[in-house]
A and B are shown apart, each in its own frame.
Chain A
């Protein structure tokens, strides 16, 4: 069974469009994260939710809006996509303040 899953794996879209990436974890964790990995391979945290409550909100454009319908899901919605949004987006989860984070397989977003 996949611990942290993301859909879609690849997403190609045009500038100005709105898109969503879904994330689900079946580990029973109460904390979920979104990370962005840029072309230089730096992996930066964007958001973190604990028990559906936002606890980390890094300096990202407000075009990015995470939504956590329940503890097992954290979706990322992106409005008005820009070329600079092209990257690989990773979802992760952990149990509370536990140090081990489990990452999903990533979603490669390409904006043309």
Chain B
């Protein structure tokens, strides 16, 4: 699986969009990009995934560059409850061996 790199931490003002970047420059053509988040002391929560096209769901949007070497997770209107560690991972299937971490620690500030 391709290795991903993310900034260790970010701040975002409440109500503003949070843009979380992820680099996956060695991603292969059949690997998906996934985003999960982990709120303190809880199990990780799936957010969104994509292969080539941009994706949107009720939680977030995922923008993948045309060369697929990087992506951005967008939380359109961040709330205090979005404070969490966000993991960007790439994998071919859900059976793939993968390591989550260390991720980006997002702090949403009032």
Q: Which residues of A contact B (CB under 8 A)?
A: 4, 31, 35, 40-45, 48, 50, 55-56, 58, 90, 92, 94, 96-106
Give every chain A residue within 8 A of B43 (Cβ-Cβ): 4, 90, 92, 103-106
Give every chain A residue within 8 A of B32 (Cβ-Cβ): 99
Whether B100 contacts A101 by the Cβ 8 Å rule is no
Count of residues in B whose CB is under 8 Å from the partner chain:
23
B65-105 interface mask toward A, CB cutoff 8 Å, 1 = contact, 0 = none? 00000000000000000000101000001110111111100
A105 to B44, CA, bound (A): 9
Which residue in B46, B93, B101 is a CB contact (below 8 Å) of A97? B93
* Given contact pairs A43-B100, A99-B93, a sample of 19 additional A-B residue pairs in the complex whose CB atoms are under 8 Å apart: A31-B94, A40-B101, A41-B103, A43-B38, A43-B87, A43-B101, A45-B99, A56-B97, A90-B43, A94-B94, A97-B94, A99-B34, A99-B49, A99-B94, A100-B49, A103-B43, A103-B44, A103-B45, A106-B41
Give every chain A residue within 8 A of B100 (Cβ-Cβ): 35, 42-44
Q: Smallest CB-CB separation from B102: which chain A residue?
A: A41
Beyond A97-B93, A99-B32, A106-B41, whether A43 also contacts B99 by CB under 8 A is yes
A45 to B95, CA, bound (A): 10
Q: Smallest CB-CB separation from B91: which chain A residue?
A: A99
Whether B94 contacts A106 by the Cβ 8 Å rule is no
B11-45 interface mask toward A, CB cutoff 8 Å, 1 = contact, 0 = none? 00000000000000000000010101010011111
Give every chain B residue within 8 A of A102 (Cβ-Cβ): 46
Give every chain B residue within 8 A of A98 (Cβ-Cβ): 94
Q: Smallest CB-CB separation from B93: which chain A residue?
A: A97
Whether A56 contacts B95 by the Cβ 8 Å rule is yes
Give every chain A residue within 8 A of B36 (Cβ-Cβ): 101
B86 to nearest A CB, angstroms?
Answer: 12
Whether B49 contacts A45 by the Cβ 8 Å rule is no
